[in-house]
Amino acid sequence: MWSLDDTIAAVSTPMGEGGIGIVRLSGSQALAILQKVFRPASRGASTLESHRFYYGHVVDPESTDPVDEVLAVWMGAPRTYTRQDVVEIHCHGGIVPLRQTLELLLRSGARLAQPGEFTLRAFLNGRVDLAQAEAVLDIVRAKTEVSLRVALEQLDGRISAQVRAIRSTLVALLAHLEASLDFPEDEIPSLDVSTALTQAHTRLAALLSQAGQGQIYRQGVRTAIVGRPNVGKSSLLNALLGRDRAIVSPTPGTTRDTVEESLNLRGVPLCLVDTAGIKASADPIEVLGIQRSHQALTQADLVLLVLDGSEALQQEDLEIAGLLGNHTVIVTVNKMDLPRVADADSVLPNARHIQTCALTGAGLPDLENAIVECVFSGQVQTSDAPLVSNPRHCQALRRALDSVTLAQNAWQERSEPELVVVELRAAANALGEITGESAGEDVLEAIFSSFCIGK
């Protein structure tokens, strides 16, 4: 996976029917391989110019049979995505022409790319750092406009620039202290170590302070809708989505399995999970659905406990509420269009209570506001500071912050300078893992193996 010598090829667009599909090549033999299979329509195009599209046909060099009518472009290094020679062949967007074109390229000297290998080469060749390379995948997977903006900021290098600045401060401190230890007889210029450590600590803490929001925008919030049968859980799911996704019936127990759907709620990606009504049952199918409801509950970041406000509280309501002690819960008192009977305020009194009518949409804006406030604990970011959204980056920042804290303590207690050096080196290495300056092969393999083939 780490060799840069091979010329790699892959289909870079999703398989299926579409207007166009793109096959990509990268490597020193990209142009030579293209010339084996591509026949320009213009007779004057025997020498292909870099960064210029040519119309023609992909042809089997052995049988001379045409495979597809295409546009082809060769881009000479280093002004390419990988900083190698890159070729793109724009075929018709069907499975057969893409597969046959790729097979011709492989027969002509290319090998099939590994997952993420094009972006890996961009990283290894210095076009992007590791954080920027990871942002490519975040852009592809972005589910909301806000998550896309967060990923674009990371691709633009805003996170990397802040991390490098902090790391540069730590490396300068490290060099100063090591020089003082190695050459005690020399006059080493003075440096305010305490102030520099404090500044690094403050900047690391500031990056981490918004990391929770960044991860929410990147990963989304898994939200389980729970309650006993026939309280309006499926109706609430449909109301939040603005369309009929789950079957709604006055017959209790209509939902036998979990129903999952994505929702963009004011920039926050939610995974809504409608669950089967939790109750005692002897029906084996219903029991299986209830087991899945319990599983969805354990995996949820947020729970909407739905109560029927038009009926008196039942023992099942209280038993379900008793399962939610460790969760963030919004008690949703449904059917507010009917006379209220339930004493819902007594259920999880410390949780937020919202009245709704899933059938008419009444109360839904209040519920949406409550969801956003619960997700961000009332602290929605309004500044232009970049958000750290990658869990790997958050872990590295926390390790760096812990090491800087230990270095501060050692310096203030006038401990051996070697202890400060050890912690500074650990902090610098942790930050280097974010940008790739000190990331090992196991980290790189774990990151790029999550990419699709062709990216």
pLDDT digits (tens, 9 = 90+) for 248-294: 445 445 444 567 888 888 888 888 888 766 655 545 555 565 666 66
DSSP of 382-451, one letter per residue?
A: -S-PPP---HHHHHHHHHHHHHHHHHHHHHHTT--HHHHHHHHHHHHHHHHHHHTTT--HHHHHHHHTTS
Please give the pLDDT value at position 221.
86
- Determine contact, residues 123/133, Cβ cutoff 8 Å: yes
Please give the pLDDT value at position 185.
57
Please give the pLDDT value at position 285.
52
Give start-end residues of each CATH 3.30.1360.120 domain in the chain.
8-129
List, in sequence order, every residue forming a beta bridge with 221; answer none if it has no partner.
270
**pTM passes above 0.85:** no
Please give the pLDDT value at position 247.
47
269: helix, coil or strand? strand
CATH number attached to the domain at 223-376? 3.40.50.300
Please give the pLDDT value at position 256.
46
Rg (CA), the chain: 29
Exposed, middle or buried by CB within 10 Å (0-12, 13-18, 19+), for 14? exposed
CA atoms within a 13 Å half-sphere pointing along the CA-CB vector of 190: 3
| Residue whose structure tokens are 């460790």 | 326
Helices 158-182 & 145-155 angle (0-180, nearest 10): 40
**Which residues in the chain come in under a pLDDT of 70?**
1-2, 44-46, 182-190, 243-258, 276-294, 378-385
Residue 307 CA to residue 356 CA, distance in Å, equals: 10
Please give the pLDDT value at position 277.
61
Please give the pLDDT value at position 250.
55
Domain with residues 144-210+387-436, CATH architecture: Up-down Bundle (1.20)
Please give the pLDDT value at position 234.
86
Give start-end residues of each CATH 1.20.120.430 domain in the chain.
144-210+387-436
Residue 417 CA to residue 406 CA, distance in Å, equals: 12
Give start-end residues of each CATH 3.40.50.300 domain in the chain.
223-376
Domain 8-129 annotated CATH 1.10.3080.10: no
Please give the pLDDT value at position 182.
65
Give whole-number Cα distances, 262 to 14, 204, 242, 310, 429, in Å.
21, 33, 12, 29, 38
Please give the pLDDT value at position 384.
57
Please give the pLDDT value at position 418.
86
Residue 71 CA to residue 90 CA, distance in Å, equals: 5
**Amino acid of residue 110:** A
